Amino acid sequence: VILDPRFKVDPTAGPVSDKLYGGFIEHLGRCIYGGLVDNPAAPSPAELLISQEDGTERTKGRAPWRKDVQKVLASDGELEIPMMRWPGGNYVSNYHWQDGVGPQALRPARIELAWLGTPETNQFGTDEFIDMCRANGWEPYICLNMGSGTYEEALAWVEYCNGTGNTHWANLRRKNTGRDEPHNVKYWGLGNEMWGPWQVGNLGATAYATEARRWAHGLKLVDPTIKLVSCGETGWSDWDREILQALVPFIDLHSIHFYSMLGHSTDSDVAGYEYEKNVFGPAAAERAIEITKSLIDLANIDNTFRGIPARDVKIAFDEWNVWDTDKAPGEIGLEQIYDYTDMLGVVAWLNILVRHHKDVAVACLAQSVNVIAPLMTTPDGICRQTTFWPLKMFGKYMKNGHLITLPSMPDAYDGPSYPVFIQQTNLAPRYVDMVCMAAEEEGKTSIRLSVLNRHPTVDWPADIDFAAFKLDKVQVTEVYSDDLAATNTFAHPESVTPTTTEYTAVEWAARKHIVRKHSWQFIIFE
């Protein structure tokens, strides 16, 4: 493999954006209550006072912030998350934002219809979310309730957040926050998974398109600077085709969701751990991105014939992850204990998102804490799951640079996969999967290379020549485990962690480097 500055891909495409590493917090299980803030039902008044030490006003209610968690999730924290999607997910389709603003003691508890029908206390609402975004450097991304919510409520929510005039909802925000400045929320989702029969108020594609177009018109009148995200499905569905045909002139991004492995964990047998499906399953996301991009192009072509100008609509992959309910104890399979194989699956995902950064403007890992998340909590502490490590390396290093073309790898996987159509293409995933980026920082070049060897039994002799870049040293961070089922738990928090080794350029040139079977390396040349 030869890395050469002449192989830079499309320098006009813009650098790889940090928005590929967005997060998602939903009012679901222990994500918000227990994860981001203390469970309002749990702490004693004395504990509330201790949690208020950071001095911010919004923590003075019944749901104090968990600073240990935010230290990890902040844009300048370990995971460097730049953007946060909220409040759902399925939850949003029965969420009425006015329940979650104003004095916390007066907020109504409501029945939550998306999941277990548990009461929602509304102690964490719009102003708490925005304050948390500000404190952690997250760009807020709010999803609107198109299930039980009304058009009028949606217009009012945008005015509440972004209004600067002397108007009712903007003034209510001023009263509630004690500040004049708007929340300035740029990203707004037009509903969540409205195609799904489980979604409160789910709609057919034609009905959704008509409604979403009406909402888009009004929302952009309230604030023309917002970016609207249409509700897509997987990207390869007829829903996506119809929605894009109807909405491309009115939207800025199109959302797609996909969880590799979801519900397909019992019918394979590699050491009992579903190895192939897990590490090759994300290939479906690559097809999803390519197909969505084509559907956007097609809608633009059709519109052009009708005299409607083309729009540069991007993809928001705003729910993605490896998810296997069998590895998640509990009623609805939310708190997945991620194992070593899942970590390899997450690397496959990250390689894909970076490879397609030109089309994917936003991606949000679902979710950020406790619920299918890289970070778990107890009231007393946190645990970094296996999947934490690639997220950390990509979030820190794989941004603000231009892609370098790599040769295509020879050995393709042709075994079972989900969805099956992946097998029907000539784009079968390779055993060795890589993505590479060159970054310039303070006048210095550095190359960042993610190498995933998915072969279950064969090491890859990685002959990587970076001499053309004239750099001095190489840092190899490897995550490897012999045990595909190894997990990090509160009892054993460091079963799967990275190790880092450094070489001079001279040592590297003389070295026979190996990327071991079923392992991942993140290599920095600088």
Q: How far is the CB of 254 from ligand AHR (least distance, A)?
A: 15
Q: How far is the CB of 89 from ligand AHR (least distance, A)?
A: 3
Q: Half-sphere exposure of residue 171, counting CA atoms within 13 Å on the CB side?
A: 4
Q: How far is the CB of 85 from ligand AHR (least distance, A)?
A: 10
Q: How far is the CB of 66 from ligand AHR (least distance, A)?
A: 20
Residue placing its CB nearer to ligand AHR in the complex, 169 or 188: 188
Give CA angle at 36 (494, 491), nearest 5°: 25
Strand 519-525 to strand 444-453: parallel, antiparallel, or no bridges (unpaired)? antiparallel
Q: How far is the CB of 26 from ligand AHR (least distance, A)?
A: 5
Residue placing its CB nearer to ligand AHR in the complex, 115 or 460: 115
Distance between CA 1 and CA 451 in Å, rounded? 12
Cβ-proximal residue to ligand AHR, closest one: 89
Residue placing its CB nearer to ligand AHR in the complex, 227 or 257: 257
Measured in whole angstroms, the distance separating CA 344 from the mean position of its chain's CA atoms is 16
Beta bridge partners of residue 475, listed in sequence order? 502, 524
Q: How far is the CB of 92 from ligand AHR (least distance, A)?
A: 8
Residue placing its CB nearer to ligand AHR in the complex, 61 or 345: 345
Instruction: Give helix 168-177 / helix 151-162 axis angle, nearest 10°.
Output: 50
Residue placing its CB nearer to ligand AHR in the complex, 190 or 404: 190
Peptide bond into 419 cis (omega under 30): yes
Give the footprint of ligand AHR on this chain (CB under 6 A).
Answer: 26, 88-90, 192-193, 319, 366-367
Distance between CA 90 and CA 367 in Å, rounded? 13
Query: What is the signed CA dihedral for 286, 287, 288, 294, rounded to 10 degrees?
Result: 120
Q: How far is the CB of 257 from ligand AHR (least distance, A)?
A: 6
Q: Which amino acid is at 35?
A: G
φ, ψ at 318 (rounded to 5°): -90, 10
Give CA angle at 159 (156, 162), nearest 5°: 150
Structure token pair of residue 214: 């009406």
- With left for phi above 0 and alpha for psi between -120 and 50, is residue 435 left, alpha or beta? beta
Residue placing its CB nearer to ligand AHR in the complex, 367 or 446: 367
Instruction: Evaluate whether 405 touches 426 at the Cβ level (below 8 Å).
Output: no
Residue placing its CB nearer to ligand AHR in the complex, 155 or 376: 376
Q: How far is the CB of 319 from ligand AHR (least distance, A)?
A: 5
Q: How far is the CB of 410 from ligand AHR (least distance, A)?
A: 36
Q: How far is the CB of 367 from ligand AHR (least distance, A)?
A: 5
DSSP assigned state of 117? -
DSSP H helical ranges for 182-247: 205-222, 238-247
Three-class DSSP labels, 56-93:
CHHHHCCCCECHHHHHHHCCCCCCCCCEEEECCCHHHH
Is the dihedral angle over the CA atoms 14, 228, 319, 29 positive or is it negative?
positive
Residue placing its CB nearer to ligand AHR in the complex, 22 or 88: 88
Residue placing its CB nearer to ligand AHR in the complex, 18 or 112: 112
DSSP assigned state of 317? E
